[in-house]
Amino acid sequence: MADKNVCDVILEVLADAGVKYIFGIPGGVINAMVDAIRRQDIIKMIHVRHEEAGAFAASAQAKLSGKLAVCMGTSGPGAIHLLNGLYDAKLDRAPVLAITGQVETRFEGSDYHQEVNLLSLFENVAIYNQQVESGEQMPRIIEQAVRAAYYHKGVAHISLPMDVARQKVSRPEYRTKLLSEQPAMIPPPQYIREAAAYLNTCSKITILAGIGAKHATTQLEEVARILKAPIVKALRGKDILPDAHPYCIGGLGLLGTKPGYEAVRDCDCLFMIGTDFPYVEFLPEKLKVIQIDIDGTQLGKRVPVEVGLWGDAASTLAALIPQLHPHENDDFLETSRAHMKTWRSSLATFETSGDLPLHPQALAACISKYAESDAIYCCDTGNVTVWAARNIMIRDQQKFTLSAGLASMAFGMSAAMGAKLLYPDKQVIALCGDGGFAMLMADFLTAVKYDIAIVVVVFNNHKLGMIQAEEEVMGIPEFEVYQHNCDFAEYAKICGGDGLKLMGPTGLEDAVKKALISKKPFILDVEVNAEELPYPPHTEIEQAFGFLKAKVKEYMGEGEKEGLHNRF
């Protein structure tokens, strides 16, 4: 033990915790850590081109696996670059450890080169936030950071001054097994009785399930069958059940479906299971709610609840099911199903259209059709999220992840790299807008460098499409949403990957198939209709009015719309 330094011990602990990759950029005061990575062969360093991409990749790994993922950056700029990706992890409750270098302790507090107060910088994002002051604290500090990130589901940060990083660790080794499986937490029997009694009196129950129900699909299906309840999925929970599941009626919110909206509006009880669906404007005021959540602080957070069940979704549902009376009347469910059929056929009009410019819905539907049954989708933020939510039909073992809580652009491709490294045998597809992709496009080079065969699909509308829609709803003319792009397929080839550019519907299926079987990192750059509006499942008068106002202003020559017509 005596010949090991602080960094060696950190890596040993991380290896014990199952960590396989550390994403980051070498340099300055993090070099001792980089050197320690070089001297062992369990954990691999992925040298990204922007620390934010590394933090997103780690966050995606943590979200998809539930296991600890790690990123790092040097003091000052490197650490600052990590922040957005770390906030993504924080808001989606993903266990991520960030290691940052810091200037030597003798220089601290003197505005030294690249000195930034990292503890105050990370204070808000991190659940655990410590500077290592001496080798004597090892391995205690790193073990505690790992526990905090994993058990509290969030970001842990350790700051490592350069001199401390190289200190020898002389403490005798002490180890406990670091991480355990989550226990089957069940609320006390009277809560289960109360919830069952309530649900037994309701006739129109809608289930709103989120990512917290991911490991409870059997129980979820069973409870839906007993209660004859349609299931609406919060977007982060899109992959908990197939989209074509007979009880699933899509999502809720602006990206949701009309049947989802109606089932929540018309039910006499909303049964929320493992979800923190944030948009309270979609939850009617007088709604009666039963809620299950593993985190007691989530119960009643969005809407008041009749009974809050503090427990794990699978085991709580399993305890509840024997006490539920099977509902005889399935009118409510059947109405939802009928509405869903109509909704799906209205979507099919766009999905199967051969119109030029190509409807983004048709691109999403085509990817959905040919993706492998265990493909992983990593979705970016923008209108592209709308097409992913509505026109990608999750099936079989497919997984879906996004920057759900933070809704950050640039998540898609970085997340795909993280996912592909963790699940090398699976097809990993990044669904990106041109804006989100371009934000961190340099990291396509990282995918090429490490041979990470991701498929990046760019829904290229030369616009910040979602912002254009926002402007229109606000009644203001389109302004500063146009984007000058390069040919992203050519860019892919220049980087050493492969790519294909598609101008419209001709050849769409072949292009998608070619992209999906690529053995190299691939960019499929597809021109899609820039005027495609992400209609909400129901339109408020105010929104329609705002839209009309924007159009009139554009007609009168305000805004930049006129300049856009020859952008291709």
Q: Which stretch binds ligand FAD (CB under 6 A): 166-174, 270-278, 445-453, 491-499?
A: 270-278
Q: How far is the CB of 402 from ligand FAD (least distance, A)?
A: 5
**In whole angstroms, what is the distance from residue 453 CA to residue 518 CA?**
7
478 part of the interface to ligand FAD, by CB under 6 A: no
Q: How far is the CB of 384 from Mg ion (least distance, A)?
A: 7
Q: How many residues sit in the footprint of ligand FAD (CB under 6 A)? A: 34
Report which of 44, 32, 104 is spatially closest to residue 69, judged by C-alpha positions: 44
Q: How far is the CB of 525 from ligand TPP (least distance, A)?
A: 12
Tokens coding 305:
């609840």
- Binding partner selected for residue 421 from ligand TPP, Mg ion, ligand FAD, none, CB under the kind-specific 5 to 8 Å limit: none
Q: Which stretch binds Mg ion (CB under 5 A): 14-22, 114-122, 339-347, 460-468?
A: 460-468
**In whole angstroms, what is the distance from residue 135 CA to residue 437 CA?**
41
Q: What are phi and psi of 290, to 5 degrees?
A: -110, 135
351 part of the interface to Mg ion, by CB under 5 A: no
- Positions 418 through 447 that interact with Mg ion (CB under 5 A): 433-435
Q: Point out which residues bind ligand TPP (CB under 6 A).
A: 380-384, 407-409, 433-436, 459, 461, 463-467
- Positions 356 through 415 that interact with ligand FAD (CB under 6 A): 381, 385, 402-405, 407
Contact track, ligand FAD, 285-314, x by CB under 6 A: -------xxxx--x-------------xx-
- Which residue number has the CB closest to Mg ion? 433
Instruction: Please name the residue ranges forming H helices in 241-291.
Output: 258-266
The β-bridge partners of 525 are 458, 501
461 part of the interface to Mg ion, by CB under 5 A: yes
DSSP 36-97: HHHT-SSSEEEE-SSHHHHHHHHHHHHHHHSS-EEEEE-TTHHHHHHHHHHHHHHHTT--EE
Q: How far is the CB of 248 from ligand TPP (least distance, A)?
A: 25
Q: How far is the CB of 546 from ligand TPP (least distance, A)?
A: 18
Judged on CB neighbours under 10 Å (0-12, 13-18, 19+), 362 is buried
Q: Which stretch binds ligand FAD (CB under 6 A): 156-164, 269-277, 471-479, 521-529?
A: 269-277
Asked if 271 and 294 touch (Cβ cutoff 8 Å), the reply is no
**In whole angstroms, what is the distance from residue 456 CA to residue 395 CA?**
20
With respect to ligand TPP, which residue has the nearer C-beta, 15 or 407? 407
With respect to ligand FAD, which residue has the nearer C-beta, 33 or 235? 235
Report which of 417, 411, 401, 420 is spatially closest to residue 240, judged by C-alpha positions: 401
Asked if 326 and 341 touch (Cβ cutoff 8 Å), the reply is no
- Binding partner selected for residue 293 from ligand TPP, Mg ion, ligand FAD, none, CB under the kind-specific 5 to 8 Å limit: ligand FAD
Listed in sequence order, the residues at least 6 apart from 191 whose beta carbon sits closer than 8 Å to its beta carbon are: 307, 308, 309, 310
Listed in sequence order, the residues at least 6 apart from 7 whose beta carbon sits closer than 8 Å to its beta carbon are: 32, 33, 35, 36, 160, 165, 166
- Binding partner selected for residue 436 from Mg ion, ligand TPP, ligand FAD, none, CB under the kind-specific 5 to 8 Å limit: ligand TPP
Listed in sequence order, the residues at least 6 apart from 527 whose beta carbon sits closer than 8 Å to its beta carbon are: 357, 358, 460, 461, 502, 503, 504, 568
Q: How far is the CB of 384 from ligand FAD (least distance, A)?
A: 8
Q: How far is the CB of 278 from ligand FAD (least distance, A)?
A: 5
- Positions 229 through 268 that interact with ligand FAD (CB under 6 A): 234-237, 251-256
Q: How far is the CB of 250 from ligand FAD (least distance, A)?
A: 10
**In whole angstroms, what is the distance from residue 122 CA to residue 105 CA?**
18
**In whole angstroms, what is the distance from residue 431 CA to residue 411 CA?**
10
Listed in sequence order, the residues at least 6 apart from 545 whose beta carbon sits closer than 8 Å to its beta carbon are: 475
**In whole angstroms, what is the distance from residue 42 CA to residue 419 CA?**
18
Contact track, ligand FAD, 10-29, x by CB under 6 A: --------------------
- Binding partner selected for residue 409 from ligand FAD, Mg ion, ligand TPP, none, CB under the kind-specific 5 to 8 Å limit: ligand TPP
277 part of the interface to ligand FAD, by CB under 6 A: yes
Report the residue from 210, 433, 497, 521 that binds ligand FAD according to the rule CB under 6 A.
Answer: 210
192 part of the interface to ligand FAD, by CB under 6 A: no
Q: How far is the CB of 146 from Mg ion (least distance, A)?
A: 39
Number of Cα atoms under 13 Å in the Cβ half of residue 548:
7
Q: What is the DSSP letter of 171?
A: S
Name the site residues for Mg ion (rule: CB under 5 A).
433-435, 461, 463, 465
Name the site residues for ligand FAD (rule: CB under 6 A).
92-93, 210-212, 234-237, 251-256, 274-278, 292-295, 298, 312-313, 381, 385, 402-405, 407
